């Protein structure tokens, strides 16, 4: 079928009559339709009753909430700070807030191709250093806040964003290494990817947290947050390397041969001809890895770091607002969904961008 | 999912074993007092505490951790460094807490941890006397009309998956020749929802946790938690073996908190008592009669510092777990021995 024929089929909108036909004819279809509709609408009504009608938005005490019976959104109002910032000192909340906005801003900016210039890399390096200084302080006007007090959103956003940004260059090297003609390099990169992909992230984090200080002479001095960051970078790099290698494999051999026949040296063939195309092809897979890594950061609770999810668990364990699990977890779920969805939209826009260019 | 969880639990156990072995090989804590020297040098005590354990270690409204375990960390810092704020709290998980203690990442572990023979014998933890006596028992709705665990025949019991609770429950019902139906779920939140949703008749767990769940539902008087304990779970602070000085300090700080309660020394009156009390026991405890401090290698006013920071044991209990906390636990086993409990201090002389 030609492209024209396909778009003609797609453009034909299904009519109401066709919908009805599919849903109610023959009779077993009707039965299933009615049953499914009943279950879904019952669930929806109950959800609305809990989340809106019976919910409490401005209760002063948990007992007011319990009396109302529905969702207790005032719990979030009272304890949002624990979920978002963990144990960070309240008078310094502007610092984690600024850090999160800085990182998210740069992340959004990085999704626009017009901004893909060398300075973007410098901007990321500057943001990494800036966030670390802003969070830990130690300058005049910025009191010292040890990493043991960090928590919540800055950890989740920082560890996942910096993790992927640092893993990206590493993964390009590994992906190129796996296609290398030099046996040692190829075997090392193969082994790296296979070993890391064969380990659960939980185990990698646990090793980074507990074995590192024993195995390295200076390991005891490496901060816990930094250890988690290193573990995440090493872990994501293996997955990203595979995403990029799939892109490299998809670039027709003719491309590099043509470039070579024009007299380009090997390094430039990779840099100017193969990698840009490979990157474009691998983009959905790269963003996919990123989205996964955001959710993977919740595992840092196993090494005692408090991410957004850990913050939520803390907020419902403080005695006063105990037991409102649903509300806290829904809020955290909504935050994660928002991040991941923004990234998805970004990825889709980028793909369309590339597709337009190719036409 | 179960298989996955089991595999990852095994894997963690395996890594923990390797790490513990590594800790034994590593050339740390050869001489007694090395950890204590480190604490003094840093001017800071690293305290391993629980993540989100109501009443023991959980963030308060301003984000600072609070709880009876946190109070013990503060007491240690007050005794050793003279300042209860010089503590770095390292939140540990149930799976890595002993590894971190062994590797020297944390100086003291105060993480609602039950004292067991294996933990002292094989894992080289050294426990002080308990800061909370807990025990495994059941909670039921009052409307069930059952007043003792022995009458729970044919009950459906909610139990946490993969915990010793499963074995405890099985042993309990088997030894009494009673039948029961276990409803085993993966997380405490699920169990909580199942029990209060009426899916099981009884809810098995440690008294403190059950009371926490009960308080969270606001209608505490509709439920009873049996005071008969099926197993004992004495929670105690721990240090790693090899540093006698640190261990003795931890052990006697715990005793001092209890002794202060018996002698009526409180956060409010400790400064005054230290100067004006004529009771020889109080004079010795608070350092007016010197000797205790010298024996432990601490300043003579260490107990004054401790009680000024967190109060006596009873005050700490009431604030975090007792009637003035949302958990509203009875003192029960944690009352002083003079009031029918188990809290007892060896003489501080």
Q: What is the mean pLDDT of residues B289-307?
A: 94
CA distance B110 to B50: 8
Query: Distance between the two ends of chain B, CA-based, in angstroms?
Result: 56
Name the percent of chain A lying above pLDDT 90: 38
pLDDT tens readout for residues A47-56: 999 888 888 8
Residue A209: its chain B contacts at CB < 8 A?
96
Whether the predicted pLDDT of B164 surpasses 60: yes
Query: Mean pLDDT in chain B?
Result: 87
Q: Answer yes or no: do B51 and A90 touch at CB < 8 A.
A: no
Angle (nearest 5°) at CA B249 between B120 and A212: 55
What's the gap in Å between the CA of A86 and the closest CA on chain B? 6
pLDDT of residue A122: 93
pLDDT of residue A336: 92
Q: Give yes or no for B59 touching A (CB within 8 A).
A: yes
Q: Chain A residue closest to B92 (CA)?
A: A304
Which comes out higher in pLDDT, residue A20 or B174? B174
What's the gap in Å between the CA of A160 and the closest CA on chain B? 21
pLDDT of residue A10: 57
Burial per residue of A95-130, b for 16 or more beta-carbon CB atoms within 10 angstroms, e otherwise: bbeebbebbeebbeebbeeeeeeeeeeebbeebbee
pLDDT of residue B7: 45
pLDDT of residue B28: 46
Q: Which pLDDT band holds residue A264 (cuts at 50, 70, 90)?
A: confident
Whether the predicted pLDDT of B144 surpasses 70: yes
Q: What is the mean pLDDT of residues B37-44?
A: 92
Q: Give yes or no for B197 touching A (CB within 8 A).
A: no
Q: What is the mean pLDDT of residues B264-277?
A: 95
The secondary structure of residue A217, as a DSSP letter, is: T
Reply yes or no on domain B2-131+236-339 having CATH 3.40.50.170.
Answer: no
Whether the predicted pLDDT of B231 surpasses 80: yes
A235 burial level (CB within 10 Å; 0-12, 13-18, 19+):
buried
pLDDT of residue B25: 46
Reply yes or no on domain B134-233 having CATH 1.10.10.410.
Answer: no
Whether the predicted pLDDT of B8 surpasses 70: no
Which comes out higher in pLDDT, residue A81 or B28? A81
Q: What is the mean pLDDT of residues A263-290?
A: 87
pLDDT tens readout for residues B191-213: 888 998 889 999 999 888 888 88
Interface test with A, best of B3, B38, B52, B327 (most A CBs within 10 A): B52
- Annotate A265-311 with DSSP letters as a single string: -HHHIIIIIIHHHHHHHHHHHHHHHHHHHHHHGGGGGGGT---HHHH
Residue position matching structure tokens 């004054």: B304
ipTM: 0.78
Q: Answer yes or no: do B59 and A210 touch at CB < 8 A.
A: no
pLDDT of residue B16: 52
CB pairs under 8 A between A and B: 132
Query: Which residues is B182 bridged to in the sheet?
Result: B157
Whether the predicted pLDDT of A219 surpasses 70: no
CB contacts under 8 A, A 67-86 vs B, are: 78-79, 81-82, 85-86
Q: Answer yes or no: do A322 and B216 touch at CB < 8 A.
A: yes
Q: Which pLDDT band holds residue A12 (cuts at 50, 70, 90)?
A: low
Whether the predicted pLDDT of A6 surpasses 80: no
pLDDT of residue A141: 81
CB contacts under 8 A, B 143-172 vs A, are: none
Residue A63: its chain B contacts at CB < 8 A?
218
Cis preceding-peptide flag for A26 (omega within 30 of 0): yes
Residue ranges of domains in chain B:
2-131+236-339, 134-233
Whether the predicted pLDDT of B10 surpasses 60: no
pLDDT of residue B162: 66
CA distance B210 to B12: 28
Q: Answer yes or no: do B12 and A202 touch at CB < 8 A.
A: yes
Whether the predicted pLDDT of B6 surpasses 50: no
pLDDT of residue A148: 86
Q: Answer yes or no: do B63 and A315 touch at CB < 8 A.
A: no
pLDDT of residue A301: 84
Q: Residue A323 is nearest to which of B18, B105, B217, comparing CB atoms?
A: B217
Q: Give yes or no for B60 touching A (CB within 8 A).
A: yes
Residue A215: its chain B contacts at CB < 8 A?
22
The secondary structure of residue B115, as a DSSP letter, is: P
Interface test with B, best of A209, A321, A330 (most B CBs within 10 A): A209
Residue ranges of domains in chain A:
3-53, 84-358
Q: Residue B51 is nearest to which of A202, A301, A323, comparing CB atoms?
A: A301
Q: What is the mean pLDDT of residues B99-118?
A: 90
| Range scoring the smallest mean pLDDT among A117-131, A140-154, A217-231, B296-310 | A217-231
What's the gap in Å between the CA of B102 and the closest CA on chain A? 10
Q: What is the CATH number of domain A84-358?
A: 1.10.3720.10
Q: Answer yes or no: do B16 and A210 touch at CB < 8 A.
A: yes
Which comes out higher in pLDDT, residue B236 or A62? B236
Q: What is the mean pLDDT of residues B61-70?
A: 92
Sheet hosting strand B125-127, strand order edge to edge: B87-91, B45-49, B108-110, B238-240, B125-127
pLDDT tens readout for residues B187-196: 777 888 899 8
pLDDT tens readout for residues B214-223: 887 777 788 9
Could you tell me which residues come within 8 angstroms of residue A155 by beta carbon, excluding any fewer than 6 positions away?
A: A86, A225, A297, A300, A305, A306, A307, A308
pLDDT of residue B3: 43
Q: Which two tokens stand for residue A247?
A: 């892109």
Q: Answer yes or no: do A210 and B15 touch at CB < 8 A.
A: yes
Could you tell me which residues come within 8 angstroms of residue A195 by beta carbon, excluding any fewer than 6 positions away?
A: none
CA distance B287 to B299: 9
Q: Answer yes or no: do A303 and B93 touch at CB < 8 A.
A: yes
Q: Which pLDDT band holds residue B161 (cuts at 50, 70, 90)?
A: confident
């Amino acid at each position: 079928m030609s492209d024209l024929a396909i778009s003609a089929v797609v453009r034909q909108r299904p009519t109401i009559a066709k919908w009805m036909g599919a849903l109610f004819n023959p009779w077993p279809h009707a039965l299933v339709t009615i049953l499914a509709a009943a279950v879904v609408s019952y669930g929806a009504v109950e959800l609305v009753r809990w989340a809106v009608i019976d919910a409490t938005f401005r209760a002063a005490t948990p007992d007011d909430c319990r009396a109302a019976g529905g969702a207790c959104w005032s719990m979030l109002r009272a304890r949002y700070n624990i979920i978002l910032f963990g144990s960070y000192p309240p008078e310094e909340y502007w610092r984690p807030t600024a850090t999160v906005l800085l990182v998210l801003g740069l992340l959004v900016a990085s999704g626009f191709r017009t901004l893909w210039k060398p300075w973007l890399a410098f901007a990321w390096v500057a943001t990494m250093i800036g966030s670390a200084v802003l969070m830990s302080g130690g300058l005049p006007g910025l009191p010292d806040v040890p990493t043991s007090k960090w928590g919540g959103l800055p950890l989740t956003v920082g560890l996942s964003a910096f993790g992927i940004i640092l893993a990206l260059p590493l993964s390009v090297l590994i992906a190129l290494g796996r296609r290398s003609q030099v046996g040692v390099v190829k075997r090392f990169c193969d082994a790296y990817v296979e070993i890391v992909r064969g380990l659960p992230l939980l185990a990698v984090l646990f090793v980074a947290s507990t074995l590192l200080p024993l195995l390295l002479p200076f390991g005891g001095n490496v901060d816990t947050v930094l250890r988690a960051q290193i573990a995440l970078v090493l872990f994501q790099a293996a997955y990203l390397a595979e995403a990029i290698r799939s892109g490299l494999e998809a670039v027709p051999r003719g491309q590099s041969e043509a470039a070579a026949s024009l007299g380009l040296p090997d390094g430039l063939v990779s840099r100017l001809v193969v990698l840009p195309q490979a990157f474009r092809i691998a983009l959905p897979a790269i963003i996919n890895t990123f989205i996964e890594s955001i959710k993977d950061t919740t595992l840092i609770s196993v090494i005692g770091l408090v991410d957004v999810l850990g913050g939520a668990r803390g907020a419902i364990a403080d005695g006063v607002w105990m037991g409102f699990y649903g509300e806290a977890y829904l809020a955290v779920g909504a935050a994660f969904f928002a991040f991941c969805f923004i990234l998805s939209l970004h990825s889709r826009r980028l793909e369309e961008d590339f597709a337009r260019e190719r036409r | 999912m179960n298989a996955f969880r089991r595999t990852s639990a095994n894997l963690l156990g395996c890594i923990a074993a390797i790490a513990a072995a590594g800790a034994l090989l590593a050339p740390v804590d050869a001489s007694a007092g090395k950890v204590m020297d480190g604490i003094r040098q840093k001017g800071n005590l690293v305290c391993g505490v629980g993540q989100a354990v109501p009443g023991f270690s959980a963030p308060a409204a301003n984000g600072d951790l609070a709880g009876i375990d946190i109070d013990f960390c503060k007491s240690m810092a007050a005794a050793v460094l003279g300042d209860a704020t010089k503590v770095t709290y390292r939140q540990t998980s149930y799976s890595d807490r002993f590894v971190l203690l062994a590797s020297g990442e944390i100086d003291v572990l105060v993480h609602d941890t039950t004292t067991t023979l294996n933990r002292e014998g094989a894992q080289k933890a050294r426990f002080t006397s308990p800061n909370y006596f807990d025990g495994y028992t059941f909670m039921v709705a009052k409307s069930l009309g059952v007043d003792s665990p022995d009458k729970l025949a044919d009950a459906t019991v909610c139990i946490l998956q993969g915990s010793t609770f499963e074995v405890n429950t099985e042993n309990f019902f088997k030894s009494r020749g009673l039948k029961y139906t276990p409803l085993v779920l993966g997380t405490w939140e699920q169990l909580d929802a199942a029990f209060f949703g009426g899916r099981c008749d009884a809810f098995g767990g440690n008294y403190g946790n059950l009371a926490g769940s009960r308080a969270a539902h606001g209608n505490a008087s509709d439920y009873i938690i049996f005071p008969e304990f099926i197993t004992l779970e004495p929670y105690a602070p721990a240090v790693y073996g090899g540093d006698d000085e640190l261990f003795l300090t931890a052990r006697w700080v715990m005793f001092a908190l209890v002794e202060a309660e018996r002698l009526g020394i409180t956060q409010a009156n400790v400064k005054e008592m230290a100067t004006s009390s004529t009771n020889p026991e109080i004079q010795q405890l608070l350092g007016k009669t010197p000797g205790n401090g010298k024996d432990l290698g601490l300043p003579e006013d260490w107990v004054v510092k401790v009680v000024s920071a967190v109060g006596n044991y009873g005050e700490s209990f009431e604030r975090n777990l007792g009637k003035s906390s949302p958990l509203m636990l009875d003192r029960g086993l944690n009352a002083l021995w003079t009031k029918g409990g188990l809290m007892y201090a060896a003489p501080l002389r």
